Amino acid sequence: MEEIPTAMTPLLPKLEKSKYHSLLSVVFGFLLTLTLTFFACAFLSLNKQKPKYILAKDSITVREADHLKIVNVSRMWYYQSKLMPSSENIVVQTPWLAPIVWDGTFQIAILNQQFRLQNVSIGLVVFATGKYVAFLKVFLQSAEMYFMEGHRVKYYIFTDQPVSMPSLKPSKGRQMVILETQGSAHPRNTYIYRMEAISYFSQGRFAKEVDYLVCAHVNIIFCNSVGVEILSSLFGTLHPLFFGLPRKSLAYERQPQSQAYISEDEGDFYYSGAFFGGKVLEVHRLTKFCYQAMRMDQADRIHVVRHDESYLNKYLLYNKPTKVLSPEYMWNRKLLNTHSFQGVLANGEMLVKVSKYPWTDAKQDFQRDLRLGHHHGKKSEKLVC
């Protein structure tokens, strides 16, 4: 056998390494070409597809992990929301950037979907004592039709006459809770106890059972949908009687010795005491302040003009609500015919948008709708209840 010269021996490993690197380069180039070809074909295929509307039955996965359940979100098709209000006369935001909710400024389908994903539950708190028990049946009937449709609701009814409760079976996903309380012949004591009871139960039962609380007067009638668009950490409702008035004309408490005192150079809006709410903890803080302030004024024999509403406005002045409901949620139909409101709504455009007509002057019309069978899914097409 012929011997290989020793001078050529170091060249063999280099030749083998060169062949090995050449093979790797060929394989890498082939894989790179294959990958680029795949993505190019996919891109061209997507470009050839025609755009389609996204229907509600389609869904996409928004979260997936080994330890989490897959959550599917229904796709929706809707018109793009406008950044500018439809009328120059409508203010849709407070100076502290809280939204002012007018009918038509929100997409209720989007909001419903978001709150259903959170699986929220809402407590509706109402006091029906003494002669006000007579309002309870219509209040609950209207709430069944129009309040938080499609969401979990608990009616918390404080009453001194539990045997007089109307025989009304709540719809699916809703529950009626009767909480017996003492009545009072003096309205002032009733208002104080209302704030005390809401504050007390917000620390315990309410906090364990619901996510949001909505506190309403029993003589309200829901005449059109009032849904999750109102929900926020803390919300108040603009009082229709004082809508658009200057600070000096608002019904704030002007006695300096009162705990509800607000000076004439202070104030944002005047809020109604008949409809407010928010997260349970925030409602607890509000009602606790009102209760303690009312007791202090009572001990000092100070009588405020507007009962608990004065204290609520004092609290909301220094603890700004994160959402403000427009006067639509508290319109009294008789107010729309007064000169002052015709002046505020001079062009008449806002009157068309009004969709929430509470208060008892609509009682007969609402009862007529019940007789005609305008229940869930069969609401009257009329904007005016």
Q: Which of 144, 229, 253, 309 is catalytic?
A: 309
Question: Taken in order 206, 209, 212, 213, is the CA torsion positive or negative?
Answer: negative
For the question of residue 309 being annotated catalytic, the response is yes
CA distance 217 to 280: 18
CA distance 230 to 236: 9
CA gyration radius for the chain?
32
CA distance 152 to 175: 8
CA distance 206 to 224: 26
Comparing C-alpha atoms, which of 326, 218, 216 is closest to residue 271?
326
Residues serving a catalytic function are 309
